[in-house]
């Protein structure tokens, strides 16, 4: 009898083996409290050494939106999109949520090596907790956005009721994004260096501060490809619901639902496949 | 020394294996940082990326540990003790071979700082949840953990302000707050003071008596002799000796040139 047979006949299980997919999902779900608490604590720790503490969660997006409003408002001049401030704020806040999930998701394994190296738990909890953290920080921004829109548009429409659905779809998509980024960065640290550039490029091509339809209107075939940019889809759909003068098309709804279903599935499978590799000292 | 076949169970009593380490090899692929320092100009300029080096940290190690044993692991620095135990805990994948266990082993190591920016209290909660306890259970355990670590005064301070001894005490207290079937302690006690060491050794014996299995890495032969029922000696990644604590420690001391068994 070999040692392996000896072990299995006594009911011992191989340690460190990646659990089957659905068992893995169940384990993640069972320990969701850990992800929730980790995101809360990380959030507190981020601002713990500043005087203003949690107020930064509101101050930062306000400053960010103010800066972009000023700069793009001046640069774009008369070519500003219609209803500029609500247009810009929707773009900036939604984009910063998605790119934030991407960036912090990428660092979720590498940046928590203390946890990864000392405790065994399903590693997908780490990207999950960064998405929860971003989600918590999104609320003050949403509040700021809605207040801005209320002030500038002076109206409240029924379509606002669908806005939470967009947030939900966008969060689901971002979770998938965080999972993919987490594995890529954990296995190939070099990619981490490129993340700021990827985000910058995405910022400029997702119609955050300009109207894509206006710019690409002359080239319908480019536009047909461009429509698949998920950042653009979510921002444009939210604008359709909130900002006067923009409409949420069925096509946008379908694209957003597609991204929100597809990416988390791809992400979790992709992440789970490398579960045994995370936290190795190399 | 490695034994490829299963040990036959002694006829007198049915011994229950809890950990089986089967032909484990651990190989690290590390980028060596450049060339060796040159004696004329410090560091040679060639190859700043360095070359990929293979470090064979643990070489074909096999052993079986039974229920209720406390196993000391000894060996000189860099002999592969921590690597081996990280594999037992499932934190490092062996290149060859496998580790089998009846329950998930819990590792308590020196380097295990959870979240330095958070208070001791919050680290207790996080550690508990990560080990799979419910929030309620962890909250109930927290006062006892704080008391065991002797950190009542400092538990609300961020862990980065703790001394290495204090954080080691807290980590031990978190890990030992519940009886684990298999607990691995990697030199975590060596930084604690005399008083804490007594308390933690008592706790380890208690765990062992509750039919838990404990692995202990230590350079203190006294600690090993006081708590362990069996000692494994690793040298350069090879299992050199495995057996009665006194015998193995004596052989080890002879090897290292230390005459007496002391602290």
Count of CB pairs separated by less than 8 Å, A with B: 133
Tokens of B197: 């060491």
What percent of chain B shows pLDDT beyond 90? 10
In a domain, A179, yes or no: yes
Q: What is the mean pLDDT of residues A221-247?
A: 88
The verdict on A2 touching B (C-beta cutoff 8 Å) is yes
Report the DSSP beta bridge partners of residue B21: B63, B99
For residue B41, pLDDT over 50 is answered with no
In Å, how far from its chain's centre is CA A110? 18
Q: For residue range B233-256, what is the model confidence (pLDDT) as tens digits?
A: 999 989 999 989 898 988 898 888
Taking the CA atoms of chain A, what radius of gyration do you get in angstroms? Answer: 21
Query: Over the stretch B91-120, which tens digit does the pLDDT of each residue have?
Result: 888 888 889 998 888 877 655 557 778 888
Mean pLDDT, range A253-259, rounded to an integer: 95
> What integer pLDDT is reported at residue A258 of this predicted model?
95
- Tokens encoding B263: 């602290």
How high is the ipTM of this complex? 0.73
Instruction: Give, in order, the Cα–Cα distances in Å from A47 to each of A58, A60, A142, A264, B134.
Output: 12, 12, 20, 30, 27
Show residues of chain B in contact with A42, CB under 8 Å: 115
Q: Please state the domain count of chain A.
A: 1
Q: Are B6 and A3 in contact (CB under 8 A)?
A: yes
Alpha-carbon span B170 to B147, nearest angstrom: 10
Does the pLDDT at position B262 exceed 70?
no
CA distance B5 to chain A (A): 5
* Assigned token pair, A273: 């496949």
Q: Is B109 within 8 Å of A34 when comparing Cβ atoms?
A: no
Spacing of C-alpha B10 from chain mean position: 28
> What length does chain B have?
263
Q: From B19, which residue of chain A is nearest by alpha-carbon distance?
A: A12
Asked, for residue A162, whether it belongs to a domain, the answer is yes
Is B100 within 8 Å of A282 when comparing Cβ atoms?
no
- In percent, the amount of chain B with pLDDT more than 70 equals 81
- Report the gap between the CA of B133 and the closest CA in chain A (Å): 9
**CB nearest A114 (choices: B89, B112, B158):** B112
Indicate which of B21, B130, B172 best probes the interface with A, i.e. most A CBs within 10 Å of its own CB: B130
Q: What is the mean pLDDT of chain A?
A: 87
Q: Name B133's Cβ contacts closer than 8 Å, sequence gap at least 6.
A: B141, B178
Greater confidence, B190 or A269? A269
- Beta-ladder partners of B71: B215, B230
Say if the Cβ atoms of A45 and B115 lie within 8 Å: yes
Using pLDDT thresholds of 50, 70 and 90, give the confidence band for residue B13: low
Quickly list DSSP for chain A: -BHHHHHHHTT-EETTPPPPHHHHHHHHHHTHHHHHHHHHHHHHHHHTTSSSGGGHHHHHHHHHHHHHHHHHHHHHGGGPPSSHHHHHHHHHHHHHHHHHHHHHHHHHHHTTHHHHHH--S-TTHHHHHHHHHHHHHHHHHHHHHHHHHHHHH----GGGGGHHHHHHHHHHHHHHHHHHHHHHHHH-THHHHHHHHHHHHHHHHTTSSS-HHHHHTT-HHHHHHHTT-HHHHHHHHHHHHHSTT----HHHHHHHHHHHHHHHHHHHHHHHHTTTTTT---
B30/A31 touch (CB, cutoff 8 Å), yes or no = no
| CB nearest A33 (choices: B88, B113, B135) | B135
Smallest CA–CA separation between B172 and chain A, in Å? 12
Min Cα distance B258 → chain A (Å) is 33
Q: Does A117 touch chain B (CB under 8 A)?
A: yes
- A33–B contact, CB cutoff 8 A: yes
CB A276 within 8 A of CB A123: no
Q: Which domain holds residue A199?
A: 55-273
* Residue B98 CA: distances (Å) to CA of B30, B57, B92, B241, B259: 22, 15, 11, 20, 37
CB contacts, 8 Å: B115 with chain A: 41-42, 45, 114-115
Residues A2-30: tens digit of each pLDDT:
888 888 888 888 887 788 999 999 999 98
Say if the Cβ atoms of B130 and A48 lie within 8 Å: no
Considering only alpha carbons, which residue of chain A is nearest residue B22?
A: A3
Superfamily per CATH, domain B67-94+103-256: P-loop containing nucleotide triphosphate hydrolases (3.40.50.300)
Which of A10, A29, A119 to mutate against chain B (most B CBs within 10 Å)? A119
B20, B160, B188: best to mutate for the A interface, most A CBs within 10 A: B20
pLDDT of residue B3: 46
Question: Mean pLDDT over residues A85-96, rounded?
Answer: 90
pLDDT at B1 over 70: no
Residues ≥6 apart with Cβ < 8 Å to A144: A58, A61, A62, A65, A89, A93
Residue A280 at interface with chain B, using a CB cutoff of 8 Å: yes
Please report residues of B whose CB lies closer than 8 A to that of A13: 100-102
For A213-233, write each residue's pLDDT tens digit.
777 778 888 888 888 999 999
Q: With beta carbons less than 8 A apart as the criterion, state whether A232 and A206 touch.
A: yes
Contact between B100 and A48 using a beta-carbon 8 Å cutoff: no
What's the token pair of residue A221?
A: 């075939």
Rounded average pLDDT over A114-143: 88
Please say whether the beta carbons of B189 and B172 come within 8 A.
Answer: yes
Residues of A with CB below 8 A from B91's CB?
16, 117-118, 120, 279
How high is the pLDDT of residue A175?
A: 97
Contact B121, A41 (CB under 8 A): no
Phi, psi torsion values for A108, nearest 5 degrees: -70, -35
Lowest mean pLDDT among A118-122, A138-142, A185-189: A118-122
What is the radius of gyration, based on Cα positions, of chain B?
20
Q: What chain B residue is nearest to A125 in terms of C-alpha separation?
A: B130
Domain ranges of chain B: 67-94+103-256
Q: Is there a contact between B247 and B91 (Cβ–Cβ < 8 Å)?
A: no
Q: A188 touching B, CB under 8 A?
A: no
Asked whether the CA dihedral A264, A269, A272, A278 is positive or negative, the reply is negative
Question: A281, B130: Cβ pair inside 8 Å?
Answer: no
Round to the nearest angstrom and report the end-to-end CA distance of chain A.
35
Of the ranges A124-128, B47-51, B170-174, which one carries the lowest mean pLDDT score? B47-51
How far is it, in rounded angstroms, from Cα A149 to Cα A163?
A: 13
pLDDT score, position B110: 53
Phi, psi (rounded to 5 degrees) for B239 = -70, 110
């Amino acid at each position: 009898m070999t040692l392996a047979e000896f072990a299995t006949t006594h009911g011992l299980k191989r340690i460190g083996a990646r659990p089957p997919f659905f068992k893995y999902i169940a384990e993640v779900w069972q320990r969701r409290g850990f992800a929730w608490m980790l995101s809360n604590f990380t959030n507190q720790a981020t601002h713990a050494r500043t005087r203003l503490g949690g107020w930064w969660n509101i101050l930062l997006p306000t400053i960010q939106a103010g800066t972009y409003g000023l700069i793009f408002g001046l640069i774009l001049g008369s070519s500003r999109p219609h209803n500029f401030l609500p247009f810009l704020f929707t773009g900036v806040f939604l984009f910063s949520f998605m790119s934030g999930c991407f960036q912090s998701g990428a660092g979720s394994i590498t940046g928590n090596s203390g946890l990864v190296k000392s405790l065994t738990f399903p590693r997908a909890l780490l990207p999950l907790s960064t998405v929860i953290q971003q989600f918590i920080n999104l609320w003050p921004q949403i509040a700021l956005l809605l207040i801005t829109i209320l002030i500038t548009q002076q109206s409240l429409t029924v379509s606002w009721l669908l806005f939470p659905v967009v947030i939900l779809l966008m969060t689901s998509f971002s979770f998938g994004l965080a999972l993919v980024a987490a594995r890529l960065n954990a296995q190939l640290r070099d990619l981490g260096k490129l993340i700021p550039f990827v985000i910058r490029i995405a910022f400029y091509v997702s119609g955050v501060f300009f109207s894509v339809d206006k710019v690409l209107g002359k080239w319908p075939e480019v536009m047909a490809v461009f429509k698949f940019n998920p950042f653009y889809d979510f921002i444009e759909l939210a604008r359709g619901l909130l900002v006067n003068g923009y409409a949420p098309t069925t096509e946008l709804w379908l694209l957003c639902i597609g991204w929100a279903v597809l990416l988390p599935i791809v992400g979790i499978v992709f992440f789970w496949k490398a579960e045994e590799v995370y936290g190795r000292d190399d | 020394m490695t034994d490829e076949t299963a040990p036959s169970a002694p006829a007198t009593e049915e011994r229950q294996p809890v950990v089986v380490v089967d032909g484990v090899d651990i190989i690290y692929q590390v980028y060596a940082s450049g060339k060796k320092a040159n004696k004329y100009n410090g560091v040679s300029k060639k190859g700043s990326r360095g070359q990929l080096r293979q470090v064979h940290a643990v070489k074909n190690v096999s052993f079986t540990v039974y229920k209720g044993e406390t196993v000391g692991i000894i060996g000189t620095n860099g002999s592969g003790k921590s690597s081996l135990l990280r594999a037992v805990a499932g934190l490092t994948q062996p290149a060859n071979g496998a580790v089998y266990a009846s329950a998930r082993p819990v590792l308590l190591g020196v380097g295990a700082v959870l979240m330095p920016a958070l208070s001791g209290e919050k680290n207790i909660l996080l550690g508990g949840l990560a080990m799979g306890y419910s929030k309620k259970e962890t909250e109930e355990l927290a006062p006892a953990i704080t008391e065991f670590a002797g950190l009542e005064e400092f538990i609300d301070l961020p862990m980065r302000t703790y001394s290495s001894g204090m954080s080691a005490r807290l980590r031990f207290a978190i890990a030992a707050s519940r009886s684990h079937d298999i607990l691995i302690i990697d030199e975590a006690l060596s930084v604690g003071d005399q008083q804490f060491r007594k308390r933690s050794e008592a706790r380890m014996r208690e765990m062992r008596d509750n039919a838990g299995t404990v692995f202990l890495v230590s350079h203190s032969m006294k600690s090993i002799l006081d708590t362990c029922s069996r000692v494994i000696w690793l040298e350069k990644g090879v299992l050199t000796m495995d057996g009665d604590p006194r015998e193995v420690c004596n052989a080890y001391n002879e090897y290292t040139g230390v005459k007496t068994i002391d602290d």
